Amino acid sequence: MCTIGDSELVQVPVDSIDALLLRPHEADEPGILFLLKDGGTVLSVSGTDAECDAMWAAIEAALPNEDFVRYHSVMFRAESLETVEQRKTPQLGDCIYFGLRNRREFTRSYDSLTELRRDLEEVTEILSVLQDIRASTRASETKQ
């Protein structure tokens, strides 16, 4: 565990992560959604909104670049990208939320299935777009 400013960053072993989803468009809930291979525990962090960017930068810096593929705000483990695509919909136990809310300490677990479904829909949408792009890329490579 390390600290950035007043924020606590709870570390997740890199080899347990399938993908990371950054959610900067929700002003009151900047944060990262971890898609894990084997589930995990609730993460908590406290700090300012500006520190969220610093935390994401620290997480990116800590991840071996060659192990992850970045697509917009999602970073996928290169070795598991095909598996993630095939699975498409993350399972309940695969998701952990890491975030901060308006400088208050914020711990999140998915007690509400509605909230979890909303997050899973967002991830599924991104995975679907990614799959479409990769399929069209493969199709154009085949034509050449």
Give the pLDDT of residue 82. 53
In sequence order, the β-bridge partners of residue 36 are 17
Give the pLDDT of residue 136. 67
Please enumerate in sequence order all residues whose Cβ is within 8 A of that of 27, keeping only pairs 6 or more positions apart, or say none. 49
Give the pLDDT of residue 45. 40
In whole angstroms, what separates CA 26 from the centre of its chain?
14
Q: Which two tokens stand for residue 38?
A: 């084997």
What are the average pLDDT values for consecutive 10-residue runs of the chain, which has 144 residues?
A: 41 55 44 50 44 60 54 47 50 32 33 58 63 65 68
| Whole-angstrom distance, CA of residue 65 vs CA of residue 84 | 18
Give the pLDDT of residue 36. 53
Please enumerate in sequence order all residues whose Cβ is within 8 A of that of 133, keeping only pairs 6 or more positions apart, or say none. 71
- The amino acid at residue 78 is A
